Amino acid sequence: MEKLHNSLDFHKRTLLTGGLILVFIWSLFSIKWGPDLLHPGGGTILLQIIKALFHPNLSSEILKLSLISAWRTLAYAVAGMTLAIAFAFILGILASGVLAKDKPGRLISKGILRGLLGFMRAIHELVWAWLFVASIGLTPFAAIFALVIPYGGTLGRIFADILNDVPEEPISALKSSGASKLQLLLYGYLPFAKTDMISYTMYRFECAVRSSTIMSFVGLGGLGYQIQLALQDLNYNDVWTYLFFLVALVVVIDFWSNILRRGLVE
Amino acid sequence: MKQNKRDLKLFKFGVVKLSLLLALILMIASWMFVYKVDHADFLGLFSAKNAFYSKKFLKGLLGIGAKSPAFLSIDSWQVALKLTYETLQMSIMAIGFATLGMIFTVIPAARNATNGTLTVSKKWYSQILFGIIRSAYIFSRAIPELVWAMIIIFVFKPGILAGALALGIYNFGILGKLCTEVVEDLDLKPIRNLASCGAGTGQILLYGIIPTVMPKFMTFIFYRWEVIIRTPIVVGFVGAGGLGQQFKFSMSYFQYSELSLLLICYLLLVAFADLLSEGSRRAIR
């Protein structure tokens, strides 16, 4: 019986894989394949771009500009993340329902807040940025708010999930010794959830750096803006210099989060 | 030994404390930078001018005052739905490209394949290949999809393919990173068994590795697809087709009611993708 079940399972998987491959091939048919897809001279431009990869512009001016731009990109990512963490922490705790007194209360707070968090993260940060620019103009806050909303939504949802996954036993032990809801949270839930919360936050921080790069589209300076300018001037060598700085920024944060994760898991 | 352990503990404690300190310094420095150098003004946001524009914008989104709001006209819906369909196709193509790239590179990029424990055979070039593929992963995922799209638009004409390529390159790095970790965490015993029975590299791959890693790969692919479906709108901004391109046009022409129609379609698409991928994930579990 188990064997039959296993083989059925296997077939389900094969069927799904086959279906997915078919869907992919179907999607390829939506394009009219041919030389029209390339710009005239697109091939030469591609070669130029690839050639420039090996000769990034390393003049001191560009390096200085890259450093400042990289800092601006980082600063906005950090500024956005600070607010996002604060919002996510509050909303996440409420959405996990650990503070609710009774069952209907928990369901209501869970339902409403999870819906809110879902809406916050359903819309991409760049779309938020456009909406903010249209309503409050080109200020640094348009970029920061645009980062805060989707990142707060994602982090909040994950925080809520992590809090819900905390093992039951220590919590019920605390409960039976007469701890209040707040004490349960402070001494039961949070110490358990801390490690996961921090390592996920670090991962999101890395993503925030990338998002803050693309905020150049709504007029925020930084690496993305410089890349855009350099591309318009067809300075591919400069483009690669900025890209290398961006990669370095992401790699450093990745390295930091790896060390921190190792430090947290004892 | 004991000394060593205590040192390690001290080191770990130090790392956490230092990280917290560093995070605090970064936060303060960033906010100071945003305020001092970029002249952010929080209270200035609540000016009468901003209130006027926000109100006008919101009214526009809701179609108040417009002669015929876009979300009430059938023609606009038809156009928007067609764009949504295109966007869906773009996302499928993108995850397909990313998956293809990942499948071809994942084995040489795994550490246990490079040092020969996985396939029981070691080639002289495997170290070099490992280095190249790993740097390609890092590069492609460190650069956001929008920047990829900006570069690709120089080579390809605006359209779905350009967007799909940009999204594909970016997600290739992420999928690669996630999937090499799966291969590296493989249980080696069945593979050892196969090898001792005389299986060649191809057979080990087919009977030993693929069946074990496939379900996890699928989970990751679906997870990335869910993310990709949110981003075509972004690569569309630089003219890579789909909903995003129209979104930018409507924004530039201040046709706000059309904007809300596109947003509705976008949210529908996201919800549809979430449902679909949740369902398929449950099916393979």
| Chain A residues in contact with B33 (beta carbon < 8 A) | 71-72, 75
Is B206 at the interface with chain A, CB within 8 A? Answer: no
Per-residue pLDDT at B66 exceeds 70 = no
pLDDT band with cut points at 50, 70 and 90 for residue B111: confident
pLDDT at A248: 92
Nearest CA in chain A to B284: A13
pLDDT at res. B196: 82
pLDDT number for residue B118: 64
Q: Is A87 on the interface with B (CB under 8 A)?
A: no
Residues of A in contact with B93 (CB under 8 A): 24, 27-28, 30
CATH number for the domain whose boundaries are B72-284? 1.10.3720.10
Interface size, chain A vs chain B, as Cβ–Cβ contacts under 8 Å:
187
Domain positions in chain B are 72-284
Query: Is B183 within 8 Å of chain A by CB?
Result: no
Domain definitions of chain A by residue range = 60-264
Most confident of B35-39, B193-197, B262-266: B262-266
Subunit contact B234:A71, Cβ cutoff 8 A:
no
Lowest mean pLDDT of A220-229, B117-126, B219-228, name the range.
B117-126
pLDDT at position A151 is 93
Give chain B positions within 8 Å (CB) of A264.
12, 16
Is the four-CA dihedral A187, A193, A195, A199 of positive or negative sign? negative
User: Can you give the pTM of this predicted structure?
Assistant: 0.82
pLDDT value of position A84? 94
Question: Which of A32, A127, A197 best tests the B interface by mutation, with the highest count of B CBs <10 A?
Answer: A127
Architecture of the A60-264 domain: Orthogonal Bundle (1.10)
Mean pLDDT, residues B208-225: 82
Q: What is the structure's pLDDT at B106?
A: 84
Angstroms from A104 CA to nearest CA on chain B: 26
Residues 239 through 258 of chain B touching chain A, CB cutoff 8 Å: 247, 251, 256
Residues pairing with B156 in the sheet: A38
Alpha-carbon gap: B114 to the closest alpha carbon of chain A (Å): 22
Question: Which of the residue ranges A88-102, B2-16, B237-251 has the most confident prediction, judged by mean pLDDT?
Answer: A88-102
What's the average model confidence in pLDDT over B63-87?
77
CB proximity B270 to A under 8 Å: yes
Q: What is the largest CA-CA distance in chain B?
A: 80
Whether B201 shows a pLDDT value over 80: the answer reads no
* pLDDT tens for each residue of B20-33: 888 899 888 888 88
User: What pLDDT does B256 receive?
Assistant: 78
**To the nearest whole number, what is the mean pLDDT of chain B?**
80
What is the reported pLDDT for A3? Answer: 59
Please state, in angstroms and rounded to a whole number, the distance separating the CA atoms of residues B26 and B72: 48
Per-residue pLDDT of chain A (266 residues; tens, 9 = 90+): 555 556 556 667 777 778 888 888 888 877 777 777 777 777 788 888 888 888 888 888 888 888 988 998 899 999 999 999 999 999 998 888 777 777 787 888 888 888 888 888 888 888 888 888 877 877 888 888 999 999 999 999 889 888 888 888 888 888 888 888 888 888 888 888 888 888 889 888 988 998 888 887 777 778 888 888 888 888 888 888 999 999 999 899 988 888 888 887 75
Question: B237 at the A interface (CB within 8 A)?
Answer: yes
pLDDT at A78: 93
Q: Do B93 and A122 touch (CB under 8 A)?
A: no
Nearest CA to B92 out of B22, B9, B161, B8 is that of B161
**B25 contacts chain A (CB < 8 A):** no
DSSP state of B229: T
